[in-house]
Amino acid sequence: MRTAFAGLALVVMFTSSAFAQAGLVESAPAKNADVTAPRSIKLTFSEKIAPALSGLALSMGDGMALKTVSKISADGKTLTGIPTGPFMAGKWTVSWHAVSSDDGRPSEGSFDFTVK
């Protein structure tokens, strides 16, 4: 019985790592932060992401959007968006999408921060 349980545990462990998605582990600005206008938005993921298939968007509740130029760090885990214009004061939403460079699995999410 122990052998069967150990075998099952190994199958679950390897299966879940094989189907892992690139999850957001850190952001600057942080979720729900009150900040001065940031010069960039940095999103760090749990694994390497595909640069051509990953990105972020900045918007306000009224539909206003701010374009960004994106780049990926040397380790492939941090996506940086540099705004092409100034931030207005108010609540902003960062919407992101990332594709794992290992297995092509997509993930997405969003969070808010406020510019003072």
- Most distant CA pair in the chain, distance: 63
Cα–Cα dist 91/106, whole Å: 27
Q: Tell me the domains of the chain and their CATH numbers.
A: 21-115 (2.60.40.1220)
The total number of residues shown for the chain amounts to: 116
Model pLDDT, residue 87: 97
Model pLDDT, residue 1: 52
> Are residues 112 and 93 in contact, defined by beta-carbon separation less than 8 angstroms?
yes
For each of the chain's 116 residues, which pLDDT tens digit applies? 554 444 434 333 343 445 579 999 999 999 999 999 999 999 999 999 999 999 999 999 999 999 999 999 999 999 999 999 999 999 999 999 999 999 999 999 999 999 99
Other beta carbons within 10 Å of 81: 22
Q: Which of 65, 45, 49, 47 is nearest to 57 (CA)?
A: 65
Model pLDDT, residue 20: 75
Residue with tokens 């374009």: 67
